[in-house]
Structure 1
């Protein structure tokens, strides 16, 4: 395999825009700071860009001991990790409580989504384990991701899907943590059982099931039919359309753009 890491992204808040970086530290629960926060409604149900696409235009930048929430319409708000904040009920899969980030963050998020909302924080990823359905066990800690700690695909695969869809698809539609480039056939990652991203050893968990979020333009929030229509023609099995792989780190380390991908 002749390939390197070409793009790295963390998503501090679930469904917010990604934060593109040159390097990130990886633990067994994934990239440090990835999806430790999420927006919930008054009942504790998770709010995502599937229903509120404007969330894709909000950014969360890691700052010392917390986040800076940034939106063109709402400006910036610094939010500290609510280490001593109130614990509230949430209805995320395999998680029943999180820590509330306070009224200022709640007001900011409520304005963003246009309804009453709260920002909550997962204090310890050990409280939430992977599902066996998604290639893990309850002993595999994860953040507030849907299924697994790492999402990986190649630029060759993205180009192939773009060709099927007959349009240039923005990588942001697919929300990867790691994009790989090199002398690879499209979808070569489908066969990666064990591999390494620089110093970090990784194992395959499952092929990534895709949802309607991929049909939303990350800049205009306009919804279309692609790439789901193209993927449904070429990449459908077990009742889902799939693109990319979900993976679990087997070791810790710092992954950087340009690191070799081996396996």
Structure 2
């Protein structure tokens, strides 16, 4: 099932300013915090040096600039998460997709390398790998998509044929060509499959519940081959 969304509903699902979940994601790990803190300290020192050079005349301007720069470690995640939201919000059309899990499997992905020296003094390259879960989702029209996210303990509840829901984005009003997809939501387990949390979860779950209550499944699920987007005739644009 694919239901087009109004722009107003879409902007509720992916807001312009970062949500609390997005802020937590963008906060990162301790090394990320240290990088932001270093940028803050260097910025404050640079502004202080500039003030010494040009004197007190521009102090009224430099003080708020220094305060903002000094707090970069705090507001930086809001900026970067909001910019990531903007990348999705630039698509003019969106839709609510309800399909099923077609396949689930785990892979090990290379996420980075480090250079170190062993006991003999030889340079050794160490590969950092991460276990990730791959979830393929499709609908009755034959549309399929796959997302890959870091493996979590809760992912063990994901099995093929479960109902899976998400928001899809497109440059075409009929959604016949999908450019991006968001987090996957599995309602039977109240489980989210995502890396970056694009969606406002409470808004999406409420929309999912209301659409589920308004329409009963009518056709047997038959994946593969999607000539064009299909819309239910009894569900108006959300």
| Band of TM-score, shorter chain | under 0.3
Which structure's residues are more often helix, by fraction?
A: 2
Using structure 1 for the length normalisation, give the TM-score.
0.22
